[in-house]
């Protein structure tokens, strides 16, 4: 999937896949926080800006 995203012009670092069970609330919260922090570091998605 990351190669496909790269092929169409998206930064593959924006894709996150992680298995989290419904009983792992803290793991979900920690993962969401991690994803938000990483996306903020990457900045705006240039591909989406170009489409506007």
What DSSP designation does 12 have?
Answer: G
Whole-number Å distance between alpha carbons of 37 and 35: 5
Q: Decide if 18 contacts 28 (C-beta within 8 A).
A: no
What DSSP designation does 37 have?
Answer: H
Report the pLDDT value the prediction gives residue 35, as an integer from 0 to 100.
Answer: 93
Report the pLDDT value the prediction gives residue 26, as an integer from 0 to 100.
Answer: 97
Q: Decide if 14 contacts 42 (C-beta within 8 A).
A: yes
pLDDT tens, 1-52?
888 888 888 888 888 889 999 999 999 999 999 999 999 998 887 766 656 5
Domain count across the chain: 1
Whole-number Å distance between alpha carbons of 2 and 32: 19
Q: Domain limits at 34?
A: 2-51
Report the pLDDT value the prediction gives residue 47, as an integer from 0 to 100.
Answer: 67
Report the pLDDT value the prediction gives residue 52, as an integer from 0 to 100.
Answer: 56
pTM for the full predicted model: 0.69
């Amino acid at each position: 999937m990351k190669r496909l995203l790269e092929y169409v012009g998206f930064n593959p670092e924006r894709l996150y896949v992680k298995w989290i069970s419904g009983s792992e609330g803290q793991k979900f919260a920690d993962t969401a926080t991690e994803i938000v922090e990483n996306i903020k570091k990457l900045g705006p998605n240039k591909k989406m800006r170009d489409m506007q």
